[in-house]
Chains A and B, each alone.
Chain A
Amino acid sequence: MLKRLAYLALCACAPVHAAPALDEGRIQQLASTPYWIALGHYETAKLGGWRSYVDDTRFFLAEDGAHHPDQELRATVQALYAPASLGDKHAQCVFPARTRWLKEQLGLTDLPQPDCQEFKTWYTSIDPHSAALIFPAAYLNSPSSMFGHTLLRIDQSTTHSDDTTLLSYAINFGAYIEGSDNSILYAWKGLMGGYPGLFALMPYQEKLSEYRSLENRDLWEYKLDLTPQETGRMVEHVWELKQIQFDYFFFDENCSYRLLELLQVARPSLDLTSQFPLTAIPTDTVKAVRQSGLVASVNYRPSRERELLARAEPLAPHEKQQVLAVSADTAQLQSPAFTALPRERQALVQDAAYRLERYRANGQERDPGQATRSFELLRAINRNPPPALDIERPGLPEDGHDSRTWQLGVGTREDRAYAEYGLRMAYHDLNDNAYGFPLGAQIEILQLKVRQYEGNDWQVQRLDLATIRSLTPRNALLKPWSWQVTGGLERVPGKHDDEVLVSHVNGGAGGTWQLADGLLGFALGTVRVEHHNDFAEFISPAAGFNGGLLWRNGLGNMTLEAKGDFFTNGEVRRSVSLNQQWEISRNLGLRLSASREFSHLATAQNEVMLELKWYHY
């Protein structure tokens, strides 16, 4: 505000350079070009007209610039002619991308020449030459990371010849969180738009450690074929967004959406954002960027956890015991059990032990004892280095099935036939087409299923708000917990063999074990609260179990599950179910489901259904 007043005052009092009188038609025409709209982050408002995603008065020079691209354009041109003595506060220094574009469009040759020292230093130190889209994939055990994230990396001209991406910068858009909200509160506030969104520029290396080590997420790097000039345009615009607050919404106006906007600033001919009117899931935005032909090459960086597991994978059980022993006490490096191993096996064991130590130190305060152990192991590695890790690149996440699922099923429940129609907004369950997804991860958001029984008898079968399951196998070295949580409406057995629609929340925790290649077994203890019309009390709690097998076979994924809920009011509800997916193509699957339900309120019910799943964004 003050700044704006300063401009006005200076413009009024000391018109050293006079802004050219602009033709109104030309202003209107320029202000509605996609590039100006992109620079101002405008969208068409719900009631017509414009509104900017930017929620920050410092970003606008005109009084109501957030709603009037044309006024903002006029004010910007005015401000460009402010006296050069304003230095770093001059509009040309604050808005270099706008300046460049307006200069080109309007042929402004007589502009004052302020010395933009801050911007120049900043820009030179980044030295943009090319860019990469970075996609840290979902991490099984962290719910809010399940959708993944995207950021941009800005490389210098020597980055690739020197192999120094560690020195590159990352442009990240994220919610700006103050205080100590935890991840559940985060998700809540994120959904509700409770945090402002900000761009940040930081060393790429920092982001790498954050994702690969702290979070144990695999990282995908998509090198973009942007020219140095296009990359520079993008970086100039990022400067304009310094400390500028956006609205941040988890689903649409999120990190990925903002980055797409940046890419459109880099290359105006791109049209990426219009593909995401409702939700922008990072994998989908990666898909969109790929389809636009921007991706020149793909690089994969496994997480630290994956590296540890890959290192330990060829070890025999007694060698894994050595890994545990050595990582607990480096004096074991001299023990007969260790020294009896062949030298190349020793190299693997001590490298695995080192990685395990670092894995355990993850997120902890530095502990001198642990640091000494790690250091001793490093010295041992230095004397006997292991061969380089060769980790096979998993399926490209963006080649996995699309996020939204349309479902059409036919089945029978006892002797009644039905058709079932379903839509799931996102994303993946344990049985869905597996390519590009980790085995044992499930995250579903908003799923509605409606059933039509014989005689045109319609009913809502279920409405899931969210279903998350994380079945990460435990092994000799790592012992992660498995867990799940669900909430919504579903049909359960009621009196008179009715299916009653109940609202419920339930969750569970337990363990998962790798029984064979592609075969997981899991067992979880569960708790549930339910509102059931046939129950006397308003809310009924239950405790129970959920266990079964998840098998990756030639057709697709199969699950075999048993569940039980023991209510405090005496009701006992149990079920066994079998689901086999047949993966027809990337975006098409056929699923056979069979289940048998037992309840104290009703006789046992059998259900069989064949369901077509069409993954279509």
Chain B
Amino acid sequence: MKRILLGTLFTVVSLNAMAEAPGGPNCGWGNMLFEGQRGTPAHFLASTTNGTSGNATFGMTSGTNGCSTKASLTYGGKSWFAMNGMMNELSEDMAMGKGEALTTYAVVLGVAPEDRTYFESVTHQHFNQIFSSADVTAETVHSNTLAVLKSDPRLAKYATEA
């Protein structure tokens, strides 16, 4: 009874139903700037509980939380899908020309350590081409990046794995 009462009084923050999105249900977190990622609504509850909600996650063979692994592209041993959850961070880092997500992107693409700083400056310069609109999807970002790499003599070798 108490539970019902409290529940009625305080349903202000509730878990919104999640829409299907690329990658599958419950794939990814956070507020997304770019299309193609999940726009997860306020997940107040789960975040205050330290808990898991919805699907208890565990089978993480793909490197993603509940994300579909179909058609995952693998670079340097890492699934491309691992980047899917950091599109916002990646766009910010690339706009500024440095940052953890951009470094991670270089690693995922298999860029050798000695070429990473150069990779960061090239992608920074071609930010407009890689993040071509506010509605760009993760897949488009990926193919745009490969296109940029292809046209750069030093980085072209990292675009061939596609």
Contact = CB atoms under 8 A, between A and B. Distances in A.
B49 to A, nearest CB: 5
Could you tell me the dominant secondary structure of chain B's interface residues?
loop
Interface in B67-114: 78, 82, 85-86, 88-89, 91-92, 94-98, 100-101, 103-104, 107-108, 113
Contact of B52 (A176, A358, A375): A176
B51 to A, nearest CB: 3
Interface string A505-540: 000000000000000000000000000000000000
Contact of B131 (A144, A161, A176, A378): A378
A378 B43 contact: no
A184 B6 contact: yes
Query: How many A residues touch the partner, as a band?
Result: 35 or more
B162 interface: no
B31 interface: yes
Given A182-B11, A364-B31, A200 B48 contact: no
B158 to A, nearest CB: 15
A188 interface: yes
Nearest to A242: B58
Interface of A: 121-122, 125-126, 142-145, 149, 151, 158, 161-167, 169, 172-186, 188-190, 195, 198-203, 205-206, 209-211, 213-215, 242-243, 254-255, 354, 358, 361-366, 368, 371-372, 374-375, 378-379, 381-382, 385-386, 388
B57 to A, nearest CB: 5
A145 B29 contact: no
Contact of B14 (A180, A198, A255): A180
Given A122-B60, A199-B58, A375 B33 contact: yes
Interface of B: 3, 6-7, 10-16, 28-35, 39, 41-54, 56-65, 78, 82, 85-86, 88-89, 91-92, 94-98, 100-101, 103-104, 107-108, 113, 124, 127-128, 131, 133-135
Given A198-B52, A366-B32, A382-B128, A177 B45 contact: yes
Contacts of B78: 167
Question: What are the 3 closest A-B residue pairs judged by CB atoms, nearest first?
Answer: A363-B42, A174-B51, A366-B39
Nearest to A347: B96
B128 A203 contact: no
A163 B103 contact: yes
Given A214-B42, A378-B95, A182 B85 contact: no
Contacts of A255: 50
A363 B108 CA distance: 28
Given A205-B86, A206-B65, A366-B39, A375 B49 contact: no
Contacts of A203: 60, 63-65, 82, 85
Contacts of A172: 50, 52
B60 A174 contact: no
Contact of A162 (B94, B101, B103): B103
A125 B63 contact: yes
A300 to B, nearest CB: 14
Nearest to A147: B50
9 contacts: A142-B48, A166-B104, A174-B51, A180-B14, A366-B39, A378-B92, A378-B127, A382-B94, A385-B95
B65 A185 contact: no
A385 B95 CA distance: 7
A183 B13 contact: yes
A347 to B, nearest CB: 10
A362 B40 CA distance: 10
B103 A364 contact: no
A316 B34 CA distance: 32
Given A180-B15, A214-B42, A374 B48 contact: no
Contacts of B92: 354, 378, 381
